């Protein structure tokens, strides 16, 4: 019969082995890539009731804006989820996306499209200021929904790290969809435009298969569907049932009376009822306007954020038709 000391030693060895395996797998993903850090950051911080906000250089005003935004956003999120944070949330703010890409808070190589991230177990939020206070507000609120959700799901689950099957894996569409729904005050024209096009043209996949950027917007509409059909309280019910039952299927059956597949089918029907009538009411864009970009011909993946010149005769926009992001003028 093993002694208590032997059992603890074996558990510690298993934990260290798991940590080594996870570290090795993370290194394999970025093998051959270098995260270059060319600047030294001298961090300062300010505290609010629920956050430790770290900033550097002459960024006190940005940190103060973040403090006010996070506290006001926390009021909304905690009311929506009927949950209060159990511990303070560290928040790191970089002065630009380029400096954000140097972060050593995580080892992953951050792409240009990464607007921020929240660690699952340490629950640290990290994000850059890109010059737009509205974009910054959106990212702060978005990442805070993850922090509150992670605290709800995993705040007291350190022992479960040894057995990953003992943790609830929240589907991407739900996690990102709720983050967008909460941070954008429910629904917005951009998400509506994307989901209208995806539904009418048939490229919106079932929720269990959705990924990439579409998971954010389709997930946002799925959360809107839940709130409009069943009530806002169902968001927190899913999280609390998932924490106990450990799978989305079981949580969905308990909350909605159907598994995730059936819920997805009802949601897709909701999308078709919502957007298919638009076909009869709207004119084809080509019949009323001239197309200025064509991704099928120039090989671009995105052409977005157009801005008119003061005289109105030119448009500046972001495009990747040259295989890298650039600003062009039409």
Dist. CA 11–CA 17, nearest whole Å? 10
Q: Which two tokens stand for residue 137?
A: 């507000």
User: Beta strands of the chain (E only): which ranges?
Assistant: 43-47, 51-56, 89-94, 117-118, 125-128, 303-308, 315-319, 326-329
Question: Quick check: 161 and 121 in contact, CB under 8 A?
Answer: yes
- What's the confidence (pLDDT) of residue 248? 92
pLDDT 10s digits, 30-50: 544 566 777 888 999 999 999
DSSP classification of residue 148? H
Phi and psi at residue 19, to the nearest 5°: -60, -40
Query: Among 119, 131, 129, which Cα is nearest to 55's?
Result: 129
Dist. CA 26–CA 272, nearest whole Å? 40
Phi and psi at residue 143, to the nearest 5°: -65, -30
Q: Which two tokens stand for residue 76?
A: 């909304």
- What's the confidence (pLDDT) of residue 286? 79
Query: Among 184, 298, 174, 284, which Cα is nearest to 236's?
Result: 174
- Whether pTM > 0.95 for this model: the answer is no
Q: Following CA atoms 196, 198, 199, 201 in sequence, which dihedral angle do they give, to the nearest 10 degrees?
A: 110
Task: Render each residue's pLDDT in the chain as its tens digit; 330 residues.
Answer: 555 445 445 444 444 444 444 444 444 455 445 667 778 889 999 999 999 999 998 899 999 999 999 999 999 999 999 999 999 999 999 999 988 988 888 888 887 778 899 998 888 999 999 999 999 999 999 999 999 999 999 876 554 454 445 688 899 999 999 999 999 999 999 999 999 999 999 999 999 999 999 999 999 999 999 999 999 999 999 999 999 988 999 999 999 999 999 999 999 999 999 999 988 887 777 788 888 888 888 888 888 889 999 999 999 999 998 888 899 999
């Amino acid at each position: 019969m093993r002694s208590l000391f032997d059992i603890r030693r074996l558990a510690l060895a298993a934990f260290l082995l798991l940590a080594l395996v996870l570290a090795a797998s993370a290194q394999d993903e970025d093998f051959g890539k270098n995260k270059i850090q060319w600047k030294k950051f001298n961090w300062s911080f300010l505290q609010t009731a629920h956050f430790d906000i770290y900033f550097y250089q002459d960024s006190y005003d940005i940190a103060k804006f973040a403090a006010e935004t996070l506290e006001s956003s926390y009021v909304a999120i905690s009311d929506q989820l009927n949950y209060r944070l159990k511990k303070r949330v560290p928040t790191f703010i970089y002065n630009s996306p380029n400096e954000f890409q140097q972060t050593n808070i995580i080892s992953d190589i951050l792409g240009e499209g990464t607007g921020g991230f929240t660690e699952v177990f340490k629950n640290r939020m990290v994000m850059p200021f890109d010059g737009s206070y509205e974009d910054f507000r959106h990212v702060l609120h978005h990442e805070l929904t993850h922090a509150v959700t992670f605290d709800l799901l995993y705040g007291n689950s350190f022992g479960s790290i040894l057995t990953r099957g003992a943790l609830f894996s929240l589907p991407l569409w739900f996690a990102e969809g709720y983050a967008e729904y909460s941070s954008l005050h429910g629904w917005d024209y951009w998400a509506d435009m994307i989901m209208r096009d995806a539904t009418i043209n048939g490229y919106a996949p079932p929720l269990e298969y959705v990924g990439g950027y579409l998971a954010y917007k389709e997930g946002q509409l799925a959360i809107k569907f839940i709130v409009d059909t069943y009530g806002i309280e169902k968001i927190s019910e899913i999280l609390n049932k998932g924490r106990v039952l450990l799978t989305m299927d079981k949580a969905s059956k308990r909350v909605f009376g159907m598994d995730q597949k059936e819920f997805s089918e009802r949601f897709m029907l909701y999308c078709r009822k919502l957007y298919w009538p638009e076909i009869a009411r709207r004119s084809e864009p080509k019949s009323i306007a001239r197309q200025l970009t064509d991704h099928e011909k120039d090989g671009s993946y995105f052409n977005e954020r157009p801005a008119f010149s003061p005289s109105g005769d030119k448009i500046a926009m972001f495009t990747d038709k040259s295989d890298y992001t650039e600003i062009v003028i039409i």
